[in-house]
């Protein structure tokens, strides 16, 4: 074999010789010559029939033939069993019948099988010799490998997809062919391969010859094959045949225990202890028991099987009951009436009810709650009856009607006259008692505010229009008062102008042009400062402060009439100033921004206090005549009462109006104050303030006055008291100015 391995044609081995080794060794040399011959045979495969003589002359003789025959037999049987298609394909070489030279009889001769690698038809001579390598290495190259001579094997032309498809259509064998990577071309599958594929599809063993039901050959077991001889010669140990001492001891232990009665075999359940006994006989445990569950509510008349008829639900009740969620129902049943007890059916929700109760029992935390059983009326504070706190305004006595929204009103210090201004620019002067209009002024633009000078020796009022303050003198004044008034407003010798020029101009028309219709004195506020929404006087009547909506810091001005001089008290104010007020007693000044009220000392130029009413947007404010209390109203309906001596938080917060509070006013002499709101109502309060610090102020609501109509969402815009009577003047968005009398 070693010689053969070294030979150049080592690949051509004799497959059949392997089974018969001895023979192979003997004919080794001859075989070489044979193989040389066969080279030729291989080159022209078709002329198989010319060489049988050489075959016959070889020494391989009948033995080989027999094997051939046996192979043929199996092949024939195979063919018969599998299919006839094999015959058509002619995969096996056809046998020829010739006359034997030796015996002179006919015999079948098959073409010689080349015992080399390629003798199998499936592995036909492949030109590519690269071996078992990943073929994608050649993807980028024009060739697919090298042939036996080391020459490149070029890739065959493959054509595009369409060509390939057409080929599959045209070629009837295309469905039995597969792509061969080595050749880079479609190769038809052989019949065996197809058979293997078929078997794999059918879940059969791919090897056709495999027999899964081969009879078992017993080699070592069975009768006659027993091993007789022992494996070792060691003697049998004692423990195999002497009973264990330790086991015996253990068993004896149990036996003794049984004898002594410590173990009772087949003991029955101990029924000696009774199931129930006096459990509460001995001392009770120290632990506090859990809270007892509340008892379920007892059934009412409606649950009766025969309730009074009025308990029966109407159709609507029934529908409503069915529509509501079972959890939201007030009762978990619908009352029903049965004429006799025998007709009452079983209650189908019985188990569900009990189950829900049990869920309550173990899932709900048990808490002891105190049930409030109080008369709700006892919560209402006991206040003195309003009838005992008379006088206060109770009814509307007269009405003066403006064509526009009556935004501002003012009552003269003697309480006999009222001036009212509207958004049309009309100012009316009329009497409180009868409502007779004495005079009417007309200005351009809206009237923002009106305020009567609190001095009693002179008589005039200030009207605020756009960027201007007009000082007007009412008609029909006594001569002395008129003269004093005129001299106050337009003195013959004007005071010296201030050193620093002020943006506010004071102007007086010359005395010969004075009429009742025009203003005696006009203050021109800085341009674009807008409408003065508030004018407030100091109690002496010399200073007045004005607040304008426009402008930035210059919104607040304090004007001194005697010196004809205006000054801005604040260089810088945090927030937008809404309102200002003079303290009635002290030299103090209240400034309300949107959320805070600040109290300044004017003489010391110092901030005293910041009040925090907790209102989103302050709308109105007034100070009690005693100067110790302040009320602040807001657009968010709140009214705060501050005790200035105490805290900067409100002493009391009231919320009773349904809409924004618009105006507040304390009566100068009576213990009353009023608030007006956008809901069209005016609320009168009794507000008694005590001198000692111990007693809290008494606030009693007295009366709600209704009579104004709400127009464009606005109600009563301003309320003012008459100084000498408990009478109230109110101006509303409906244009009416009402006088309310006691």
Please, which of residues 279-308 interact with other proteins by CB under 8 A? 279-280, 284-285, 287, 289-290, 292-293, 295-296, 298-301, 303-308
Find the shortest distance in angstroms from Cβ 675 to other proteins: 11
Map the footprint of other proteins across residues 119-178, applying CB under 8 A.
none
**Residue with smaller CB distance to other proteins, 307 or 625:** 307
Find the shortest distance in angstroms from Cβ 356 to other proteins: 9
Find the shortest distance in angstroms from Cβ 716 to other proteins: 17
How many whole angstroms separate alpha carbon 453 and alpha carbon 541? Answer: 6
Find the shortest distance in angstroms from Cβ 269 to other proteins: 8
Could you tell me the sign of the dihedral formed by the alpha carbons of 648, 652, 657, 658, in that order? positive
Q: Which of 203, 339, 512, 515 binds other proteins (CB under 8 A)?
A: 339
Find the shortest distance in angstroms from Cβ 688 to other proteins: 14
**Residue with smaller CB distance to other proteins, 88 or 377:** 377
How many whole angstroms separate alpha carbon 666 and alpha carbon 291? Answer: 58
Find the shortest distance in angstroms from Cβ 293 to other proteins: 7
Find the shortest distance in angstroms from Cβ 79 to other proteins: 56
Map the footprint of other proteins across residues 427-486, applying CB under 8 A.
none
Residue found under tokens 């100012």? 427
Binding mask 18-57 for other proteins (x = CB under 8 A): ----------------------------------------
Find the shortest distance in angstroms from Cβ 412 to other proteins: 31
Map the footprint of other proteins across residues 49-108, applying CB under 8 A.
none
Q: Which of 141, 154, 693, 704 binds other proteins (CB under 8 A)?
A: 704
**Residue with smaller CB distance to other proteins, 212 or 376:** 376
Find the shortest distance in angstroms from Cβ 318 to other proteins: 14
Map the footprint of other proteins across residues 673-702, applying CB under 8 A.
699-702
Residue found under tokens 């056809």? 94
How many whole angstroms separate alpha carbon 90 and alpha carbon 215? Answer: 35
Find the shortest distance in angstroms from Cβ 383 to other proteins: 5
**Comparing C-alpha atoms, which of 526, 515, 541, 534 is closest to residue 450?**
534
Terminus-to-terminus CA distance in the chain, angstroms? 146
**Residue with smaller CB distance to other proteins, 333 or 395:** 333
Interface with other proteins (CB under 8 A), residue total 76
Query: DSSP assignment, residue 337?
Result: -
**Residue with smaller CB distance to other proteins, 166 or 383:** 383
Q: Which of 236, 310, 328, 444 binds other proteins (CB under 8 A)?
A: 310
Q: Residue 15 is encoded by which pair of tokens?
A: 């497959």
User: With CB under 8 A as the contact rule, which of the stretches 2-10, 193-201, 319-327, 329-337 interacts with other proteins?
Assistant: 329-337
User: With CB under 8 A as the contact rule, which of the stretches 50-58, 161-169, 335-343, 444-452 interacts with other proteins?
Assistant: 335-343
Hey, how many other C-beta atoms are within 10 angstroms of the C-beta on 483? 12
**Residue with smaller CB distance to other proteins, 5 or 340:** 340
Q: Which of 340, 370, 434, 479 binds other proteins (CB under 8 A)?
A: 340
Beta bridge partners of 740: 396, 728
**Residue with smaller CB distance to other proteins, 335 or 633:** 335
Report residue 174 CA to chain centroid gap: 63
Alpha helix stretches (DSSP H) within 408-498: 479-489
**Contact (CB, 8 A) for 740 and 397:** yes
How many whole angstroms separate alpha carbon 184 and alpha carbon 137? Answer: 13
Map the footprint of other proteins across residues 342-401, applying CB under 8 A.
342, 344-348, 350-355, 357-359, 361-367, 372, 374, 376-377, 379-383, 385-386
User: With CB under 8 A as the contact rule, which of the stretches 276-284, 551-559, 574-582, 725-733 interacts with other proteins?
Assistant: 276-284
**Residue with smaller CB distance to other proteins, 473 or 681:** 681
CA atoms within 13 Å, Cβ hemisphere of 505: 8
Q: Which residues contact 236 (CB under 8 A, 6 or more apart)?
A: none
Q: Which residues contact 112 (CB under 8 A, 6 or more apart)?
A: 38, 41, 48, 51, 52, 55
**Residue with smaller CB distance to other proteins, 81 or 297:** 297
The bridge status of strand 521-524 relative to strand 532-537 is: unpaired
Q: Residue 182 is encoded by which pair of tokens?
A: 């080595």
Rg (CA), the chain: 63
**Residue with smaller CB distance to other proteins, 146 or 311:** 311
Beta bridge partners of 642: 630
**Residue with smaller CB distance to other proteins, 22 or 373:** 373
How many whole angstroms separate alpha carbon 482 and alpha carbon 415? Answer: 18
How many whole angstroms separate alpha carbon 255 and alpha carbon 183? Answer: 89
**Residue with smaller CB distance to other proteins, 269 or 606:** 269
Find the shortest distance in angstroms from Cβ 442 to other proteins: 42
User: With CB under 8 A as the contact rule, which of the stretches 117-125, 336-344, 519-527, 622-630 interacts with other proteins?
Assistant: 336-344
Query: DSSP assignment, residue 386?
Result: G
How many whole angstroms separate alpha carbon 620 and alpha carbon 675? Answer: 9
**Comparing C-alpha atoms, which of 576, 484, 485, 565 is closest to residue 530?**
576
**Residue with smaller CB distance to other proteins, 190 or 336:** 336
**Residue with smaller CB distance to other proteins, 295 or 571:** 295
**Contact (CB, 8 A) for 35 and 54:** no
How many whole angstroms separate alpha carbon 507 and alpha carbon 524? Answer: 8
**Residue with smaller CB distance to other proteins, 545 or 699:** 699
Map the footprint of other proteins across residues 638-667, applying CB under 8 A.
654-656
Find the shortest distance in angstroms from Cβ 653 to other proteins: 8
Q: Which residues contact 650 (CB under 8 A, 6 or more apart)?
A: 611, 613, 614, 632, 640, 641, 642
Find the shortest distance in angstroms from Cβ 280 to other proteins: 4
Report residue 394 CA to chain centroid gap: 56
Beta bridge partners of 429: 419, 439
Residue 585 binds other proteins, judged by CB under 8 A: no
**Residue with smaller CB distance to other proteins, 160 or 375:** 375
Find the shortest distance in angstroms from Cβ 699 to other proteins: 7
**Contact (CB, 8 A) for 540 and 546:** no
The DSSP code sequence of 578-640 is -EEEE-SSSSEEEEE-SS-EEEEETTTTEEEEEE----SSEEEEEE-TTSSEEEEEETTSEEE
Q: Which residues contact 345 (CB under 8 A, 6 or more apart)?
A: none
Map the footprint of other proteins across residues 513-572, applying CB under 8 A.
none
How many whole angstroms separate alpha carbon 525 and alpha carbon 551? Answer: 10
Find the shortest distance in angstroms from Cβ 493 to other proteins: 56
**Residue with smaller CB distance to other proteins, 547 or 716:** 716
Q: Count the residues in the chain.
A: 742
User: With CB under 8 A as the contact rule, which of the stretches 44-52, 309-317, 504-512, 593-601 interacts with other proteins?
Assistant: 309-317
Find the shortest distance in angstroms from Cβ 686 to other proteins: 11
- On the 0-12 / 13-18 / 19+ scale of CB atoms within 10 A, 584 is middle
* CA distances to 116, 238, 242 from 232, in Å: 54, 17, 22
Find the shortest distance in angstroms from Cβ 685 to other proteins: 9
**Residue with smaller CB distance to other proteins, 215 or 299:** 299
Query: DSSP assignment, residue 39?
Result: H
Find the shortest distance in angstroms from Cβ 498 to other proteins: 50
């Amino acid at each position: 074999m070693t010689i053969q391995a070294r030979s150049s044609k080592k690949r051509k081995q004799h497959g059949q010789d392997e089974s018969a080794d001895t023979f192979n060794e003997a004919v080794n040399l001859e075989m070489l010559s044979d193989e040389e011959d066969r080279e030729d045979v291989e080159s022209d495969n078709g002329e198989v029939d010319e060489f049988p003589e050489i075959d016959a002359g070889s020494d391989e003789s009948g033995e080989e033939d027999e094997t051939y025959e046996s192979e043929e037999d199996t092949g024939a049987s195979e063919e018969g069993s599998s299919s006839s298609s094999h015959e058509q394909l002619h995969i096996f070489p056809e046998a020829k019948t010739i006359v034997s030279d030796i015996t002179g009889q006919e015999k079948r001769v098959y073409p010689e099988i080349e015992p080399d690698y390629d003798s199998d038809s499936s592995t036909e001579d492949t030109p590519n010799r690269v071996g078992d390598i990943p073929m994608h290495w050649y993807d980028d190259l024009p060739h697919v490998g090298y042939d036996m001579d080391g020459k490149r094997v070029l890739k065959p032309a493959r054509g595009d997809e369409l060509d390939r498809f057409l080929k599959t259509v045209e070629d009837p064998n295309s469905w039995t062919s597969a792509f061969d990577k080595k050749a880079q071309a479609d190769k038809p599958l052989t019949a065996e391969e197809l058979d293997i594929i078929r078997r794999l599809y059918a879940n059969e063993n791919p090897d056709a010859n495999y027999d899964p039901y081969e009879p078992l050959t017993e080699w070592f077991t069975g009768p006659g094959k027993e091993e007789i001889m022992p494996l070792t010669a060691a003697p049998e140990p004692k423990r195999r045949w002497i009973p264990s001492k330790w086991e015996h001891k253990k068993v004896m232990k149990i036996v003794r225990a049984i004898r002594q009665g410590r173990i009772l075999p087949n003991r029955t359940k101990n029924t000696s202890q009774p199931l129930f006994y006096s459990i509460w006989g001995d001392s009770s445990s120290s632990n506090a028991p859990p809270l007892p569950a509340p008892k379920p509510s007892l059934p009412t008349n409606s649950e009766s099987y025969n309730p009074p008829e009025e308990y029966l639900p109407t159709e609507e009740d029934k529908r409503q009951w069915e529509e509501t969620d079972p959890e939201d129902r007030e009762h978990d049943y619908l009352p029903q009436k049965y004429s006799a007890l025998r007709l009452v059916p079983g209650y189908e929700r019985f188990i569900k009810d009990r189950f829900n109760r049990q869920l309550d029992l173990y899932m709900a935390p048990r808490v002891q709650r105190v049930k409030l059983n109080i008369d709700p009326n006892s919560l209402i504070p006991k206040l003195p009856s309003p009838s005992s706190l008379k006088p206060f305004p109770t009814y509307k006595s007269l009405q003066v009607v403006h064509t526009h929204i009556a935004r501002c009103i003012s009552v003269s210090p003697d309480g006999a006259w009222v001036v009212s201004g509207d958004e049309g620019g009309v100012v009316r002067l009329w009497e409180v008692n009868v409502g007779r209009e004495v005079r009417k002024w007309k200005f351009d633009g809206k009237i923002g505010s009106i305020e009567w000078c609190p001095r009693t020796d002179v008589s005039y009022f200030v009207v605020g229009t756009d960027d201007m303050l007009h000082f007007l003198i009412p008609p029909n004044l006594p001569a002395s008062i008129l003269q004093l008034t005129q001299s106050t407003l337009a003195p013959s010798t004007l005071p010296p102008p201030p050193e620093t020029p002020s943006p506010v101009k004071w102007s007086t028309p010359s005395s010969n042009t004075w009429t009742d219709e025009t203003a005696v004195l006009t203050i021109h506020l800085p341009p674009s400062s807008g409408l003065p929404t508030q004018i407030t006087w100091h109690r002496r009547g010399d200073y007045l402060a004005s607040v304008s909506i426009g402008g930035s810091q210059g919104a607040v001005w304090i004007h001194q009439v005697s010196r004809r001089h205006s000054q801005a008290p604040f260089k810088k104010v945090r927030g937008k100033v809404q309102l200002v007020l003079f303290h009635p007693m002290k030299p103090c000044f209240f400034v309300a921004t949107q959320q805070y009220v600040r109290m300044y000392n004017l003489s010391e130029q110092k901030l005293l206090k910041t009040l925090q009413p907790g209102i989103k947007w302050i709308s109105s404010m007034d100070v009690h005549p005693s100067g110790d209390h302040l009320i602040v109203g807001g657009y968010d309906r709140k009214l705060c009462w501050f005790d200035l001596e105490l805290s900067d938080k409100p002493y009391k917060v009231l919320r009773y109006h349904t809409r924004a509070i618009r105006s507040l006013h304390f009566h100068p002499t009576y213990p009353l104050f009023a608030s007006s709101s956008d809901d069209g109502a005016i609320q009168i309060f009794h507000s008694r303030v005590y001198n000692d610090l111990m007693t809290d102020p008494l606030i009693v609501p007295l009366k709600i006055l209704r009579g104004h109509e709400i127009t464009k969402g606005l109600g009563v815009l301003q309320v003012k008291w008459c100084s000498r009577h408990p009478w109230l003047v109110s101006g509303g968005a409906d244009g009416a100015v009402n006088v309310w009398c006691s």
